[in-house]
Amino acid sequence: MAVKTENKNEIVKTGRRKCSIAVAKVVSGKGRIFVNGKTLKGYFGNRPSLEMTIYRPLVLTENQDKFDVRVKAIGGGVSAQADAIQLAISRALVEANEEYKSTLKQEGLLTRDARIKERKKYGRKRARKRFQFSKR
């Protein structure tokens, strides 16, 4: 879903993971990333692994300092949100330049991870875990 807004250079793409949804707006700039109005460090705290996850599509396509990204992320946990942001940025980069598709596809960054939490069943503690069996 590429949405062209009043800014012609802006690319808007959506990424999903578990219960998280991230909408990324990619604009040419200096390489800054804002999530829900905060900087990346301000939103995710001191978690370098999540930062690396988010920056990965930009690093692979050598665009760390060429695009600014504004993200609105909702739902899920921080790890799922980071993966959703990564997918949204990857899709936006492909929209910006079709040549990046082979690189990102090879690394598995354009594939949506469809695994979600399995629902709890009745008579069970969780989806599959059972209550302790007592013979007597």
Percent of the chain surpassing pLDDT 70: 95
Asked whether residue 82 is assigned to any structural domain, the reply reads yes
Residues of the chain with pLDDT under 50: none
Angle at 24 between CA 18 and CA 29, to 5 degrees: 145
What confidence score (pLDDT) does residue 3 get?
54
What confidence score (pLDDT) does residue 6 get?
59
- Please state the domain count of the chain: 1
CATH code, domain with 20: 3.30.230.10
- Range of the structural domain that residue 101 is part of: 11-106
Shortest CA distance to 42 belongs to which of 71, 21, 18, 63? Answer: 71
What confidence score (pLDDT) does residue 15 get?
97
